[in-house]
Amino acid sequence: MVSTIQIKPASLLQPYISCYAIRTFETGDTSMLKPMHAVNQCYMSFFLKDPFCDLIDISGKWQDQKSNSLCTLLTQTKGYTSYKGNFKIFCIQFKSNGLFAIFGIPQKELINSILRLEDILGNDNNLLTEQLEGSADIIEMAKLMNSFLTSRLLCKKLKDRTYIIANTCDIILKNKGLVSMASLSSYANMSFRNFERKFLDEVGMAPKLYARITRFNNALENKMLHPSKSWTDITYENGYFDQAHFIREVKMFSSKSPDELFKHTPPPTETFIEKVEY
């Protein structure tokens, strides 16, 4: 069982960050595998107890150890992370173009990557880890990260399009990927070709692919929260043409069929507590 406490960032950061979260869990003597399938948000993780987890490729072969790290947007499976021990992980969940807005990192160059945080943050990686470890609770952690990330954001001279692209991605998220590209380009007040090019520059993938990955993740979350639902119900509730269409999408983004994904590496059961004021 994974216990997760979430809190929203400062209002200035909310176009680019979904939330901060603390995830705590203990696996005992067994290993917990977590599939690394396609995702529509980036995750910056600080390990505050056991310092490592293992990276396993799709064939089950050990690849590397993962500590403080950045998992970028993924369009395909990267295998699994394997956890064994007692974990407390502080996570910053970036929205679509959040890395670009706050750190100025061209996301197109980072798609499908898992990077060491010290390569992104330099010496701030160790300093922030120490400060997070010394924080009393998620409220203190949020204040710390608000200060750090706001200073980074204010150093950037963002173009209007960065905020516009962030807003169009929010529309995709709120509609669970079920939105027309024509309506998005109209909202952005751009021709579709120009909108697609700017979206690709800011987010690192085309808007249609981002919407498909969003719908895929919502379908998996639907099944995780309601395990008794049939795959047929999941298919139509999430706007797929038919079950064959849904299965193709799941295989493309996770390399497994829906049954294989949930039978062999089901998403860990997770309980959420959300703090909205601090």
Per-residue pLDDT of the chain (278 residues; tens, 9 = 90+): 788 999 999 999 999 999 999 999 998 888 888 899 999 999 999 999 878 999 999 888 999 999 999 999 999 999 999 999 999 999 999 999 999 999 998 888 899 999 999 999 999 999 999 999 999 999 999 999 999 999 999 998 888 899 999 999 999 999 999 999 999 999 999 999 999 999 999 999 999 999 999 999 999 999 988 888 999 999 999 999 999 999 999 999 999 999 998 886 666 667 778 776 54
Residue 75 belongs to domain with CATH number:
2.60.120
Looking at residue 207, its pLDDT comes to 97
Asked whether residue 121 is assigned to any structural domain, the reply reads yes
- 120 within a domain of the structure (yes/no): yes
User: Quick check: is 28 in a domain?
Assistant: yes
Q: Is residue 175 part of a domain?
A: no
Does residue 200 fall inside a structural domain?
A: no
- The residues with which 23 forms a beta bridge, in sequence order, are 4, 89
Are the C-beta atoms of residues 4 and 22 closer than 8 Å to each other? yes
Alpha-carbon span 122 to 227, nearest angstrom: 42
- Side chain identity at 197, as an amino acid letter? R
Q: Please tell me the predicted confidence (pLDDT) of residue 266.
A: 63
Strand (E) or helix (H) holding 26: strand 17-26
Domain count, the chain: 1
Within 8 A by CB and 6+ apart from 200, the residues are: 108, 206
The candidate with the shortest Cα–Cα distance to 245, out of 235, 254, 237, 253, is 235
* Residue 145, burial from CB neighbour count under 10 angstroms (0-12, 13-18, 19+): buried
Q: Tell me the two tokens of residue 19.
A: 């939330």
Residue 62 belongs to domain spanning: 2-156+267-275
| Residue 171 Rama label (left phi>0; alpha psi -120 to 50; beta) | alpha
Reduced to 3 states, what is the DSSP secondary structure of residue 23?
Answer: strand
pLDDT of res. 269: 67
Tokens linked to 3: 């216990």
Which residues, in sequence order, are CB contacts of 136 under 8 Å at separation 6+?
none
Query: Does residue 142 sit within a domain?
Result: yes
Judge whether 100 lies within some domain.
Answer: yes
For residue 179, being part of any structural domain is answered with no
pLDDT reported for residue 278: 47
**d(C-alpha 251, C-alpha 81), whole Å:** 19
pTM of the model: 0.92
